[in-house]
Amino acid sequence: MAQIREIKKRMVAVSTIERITKTMQMIATAKFTSALQRARATRPYTDSIRGLVSRLAADCGGELEDVLIRGVDGAENRELILVISSDRGLCGAYNSHLLRTASTYLSSLDAEGRSFELQTSGKKANSFFNFAGIEVSKRHQFGDKPVFEQVAEVANEMIRRFSDGEFSSVKVVYMRFESNSRQVPEVMQLLPMRFDESDATNDDPGSESAASSDEVVYEFSPSVEEILSELLPRAVKTSLFQAVNDAVVSEQVMRMIAMKAASDNAKGLGRTLKRDFNRARQGKITTELTEIVSGAAALE
């Protein structure tokens, strides 16, 4: 009887867990859909402005003196690092992969004898670095629905301190979203800005004008330096905002997958417990019938 009662309790507990994880999966799916729409909406603008800045910088022929690209002469050999994690758990390996990447990078800086200042976004990163004994200078809170103005304020502070020579570079450690099945932890260099060849055609990918951009000569009014002085800070802000959006999308898709796996496991365990319960109950009924038959035979 005790075994049947114990199995029954476990069946109730597993059923409750399944309902909870199923609900969390549905919530994560809704949040993922919303976050993915925001990330996809901002991606074309981010790519276009980076492409435009890349082409303008290339047209300067290597003579550009903007500090956001070349850095500050005599700046301290010190890095500012922002780690973007989640506020909540139950999102699979999201935080473990991200924080492992951040820890590896910080260890490499220590090995090179370089100092750094660490900032975080998300409670999980705060708890991790507190436990590791690594000082966090500032804690940001972007939430599940990041607002551009809030991210831009953080970016402005980074730009100001970088321009003052406090740091030689600014890095962002975040989870880059590639697809529903692939999210990659990445250390992105935010400042000084770096461009590759693909950035130069992001403003109109695949077009004939983009393909033949090296053959076109542009005249700028106002000057390239004046245009870039306006575009570069905007490119830094949009790049950081895109990284935050990617991090939110990655968190929600990994939570959705983790909760689906938990629901499936709970359902499978529930079927196993039900089978064990039926076997135990059948065994008890068989035992009782045997005792009754034996007792009746003894009375004859």
pLDDT tens digits, one per residue of 281-290:
888 888 888 8
- The answer to the question of residue 296 being in a domain is no
Closest C-alpha to 58, from 234, 197, 210, 206 = 197
Residue 140 belongs to domain spanning: 25-257
Chain mean pLDDT for the chain: 87
- The answer to the question of residue 149 being in a domain is yes
Torsional sign, CA 35, 243, 185, 132: negative
Q: CATH number of the domain that 216 lies in?
A: 3.40.1380.10
Average pLDDT over residues 249-270: 95
- Range of weakest confidence among 220-224, 248-252, 272-276: 220-224
Predicted local confidence at residue 207, as pLDDT: 45
**196 pLDDT higher than 80:** no
- The answer to the question of residue 282 being in a domain is no
- The answer to the question of residue 295 being in a domain is no
**85 pLDDT higher than 50:** yes
Q: How far apart are CA 237 and CA 232, in angstroms?
A: 9
- The answer to the question of residue 1 being in a domain is no
Average pLDDT over residues 173-181: 93
Query: What 3-state class would DSSP assign to 202?
Result: coil
Closest C-alpha to 187, from 172, 203, 166, 165 = 172
pLDDT level of residue 81 (50, 70, 90 thresholds):
very high
Predicted local confidence at residue 24, as pLDDT: 95
- The answer to the question of residue 135 being in a domain is yes
Predicted local confidence at residue 193, as pLDDT: 86
Burial class (CB in 10 A: 0-12, 13-18, 19+), 38: middle
pLDDT level of residue 154 (50, 70, 90 thresholds):
very high
Q: Are strands 182-191 and 78-84 parallel, antiparallel or unpaired?
A: unpaired
Q: What percent of the chain has pLDDT over 70?
A: 88
- The answer to the question of residue 198 being in a domain is yes
Q: Are strands 182-191 and 169-179 parallel, antiparallel or unpaired?
A: antiparallel
Per DSSP (E only), the strands in the chain are 78-84, 115-121, 138-140, 169-179, 182-191
| The total number of structural domains that make up the chain | 1
Contacts of 183 (CB under 8 A, 6+ apart): 94, 175, 176, 177, 250, 253, 254
- The answer to the question of residue 44 being in a domain is yes
Q: How far apart are CA 111 and CA 119, in angstroms?
A: 20
Average pLDDT over residues 23-35: 94
pLDDT level of residue 72 (50, 70, 90 thresholds):
confident
**202 pLDDT higher than 60:** no
Query: What 3-state class would DSSP assign to 191?
Result: strand
Contacts of 207 (CB under 8 A, 6+ apart): none
Contacts of 140 (CB under 8 A, 6+ apart): 82, 119, 120, 121, 154
**228 pLDDT higher than 90:** no
Q: pTM of this prediction?
A: 0.84
Task: Write out the two tokens for 136.
Answer: 């966090």
Closest C-alpha to 173, from 239, 221, 102 = 102
